[in-house]
């Protein structure tokens, strides 16, 4: 649907297409999450490191960091809710200084952490599928931006990187002295609160999922 966005927006409008996109993708995402929760301990157990000292803390910290990438403060919360007219942004501040595709990086971190913790074939298969899906999204996203913005995107692409911190290390991305202020924004604070809440709500989420025989 992302590839069809430009055509779809011309037919029904940007806001309507975003609502349609959410109306289709969110139920699919919910059903996939429920299925994963219900079957995450199926398959073949490949390793078990739950009892190893420090693994729980490593997995928890990795998951926390992953959500800072998955839902960066470079979005407009009103646009997400389709209240404001959606816009395609080409920013290079905040999390975008670290990677041009934070959702891909966040998904990789999340998958590696969950696969390490669960340690079975179901987790491996799910992670391979998710990472592959987001890797395609990296290519497709850059393709769409290049098609729509041309030279302006080429300039942005040269100053940013997909690999985390690569553009900073090789000098393409210059950090201002007060770069940390780019992270002190409402969306980031919201994500931190929601991530902590989701962690403590895991038992409730699992109980609700088990009630759906998927």
Q: pTM of the predicted model, to two decimals?
A: 0.84
Each of the 214 residues of the chain gets a pLDDT tens digit; together they read 777 887 888 899 888 888 888 888 888 888 998 999 999 998 999 999 999 999 999 999 999 999 988 876 445 555 555 555 555 566 778 888 899 999 999 999 999 999 999 999 999 999 999 999 999 999 999 998 898 889 989 999 999 999 999 999 999 988 888 888 888 888 788 888 988 998 888 888 888 888 887 7
- Name 45's bridge partners: 120
CA 125, distance to chain mean position in Å, is: 18
Torsion 93-94-96-98 (CA) sign: positive
Each domain of the chain, given as residue ranges in start order, spans 5-210
Q: Using CA atoms, how far apart are residues 71 and 107, in angstroms rounded to an integer?
A: 10
Nearest 5 degrees, angle CA 56-CA 61-CA 64? 125
């Amino acid at each position: 649907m992302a590839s069809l966005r430009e055509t779809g927006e011309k037919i029904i409008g940007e806001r309507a297409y975003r609502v349609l996109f959410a109306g289709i993708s969110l139920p699919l995402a919910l059903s996939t999450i429920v299925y994963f929760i219900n079957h995450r301990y199926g398959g073949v157990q490949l390793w078990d490191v739950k009892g190893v000292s420090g693994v729980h803390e490593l997995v928890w910290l990795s998951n926390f960091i992953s959500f800072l990438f998955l839902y960066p403060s470079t979005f407009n919360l009103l646009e997400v809710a389709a209240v404001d007219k959606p816009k395609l942004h080409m920013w290079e501040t905040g999390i975008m200084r670290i990677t041009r595709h934070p959702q891909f990086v966040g998904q990789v971190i999340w998958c590696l952490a969950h696969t390490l913790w669960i340690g079975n074939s179901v987790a491996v298969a799910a992670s391979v599928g998710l990472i592959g899906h987001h890797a395609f999204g990296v290519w497709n996203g850059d393709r769409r931006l290049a098609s729509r913005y041309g030279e302006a995107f080429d300039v942005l692409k040269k100053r940013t990187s997909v690999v985390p911190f690569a553009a900073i290390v090789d000098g393409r991305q210059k950090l201002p002295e007060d770069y940390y202020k780019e992270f002190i924004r409402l969306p980031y604070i919201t994500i931190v609160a929601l991530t902590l809440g989701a962690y403590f709500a895991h038992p409730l989420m699992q109980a609700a999922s088990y009630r759906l025989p998927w």
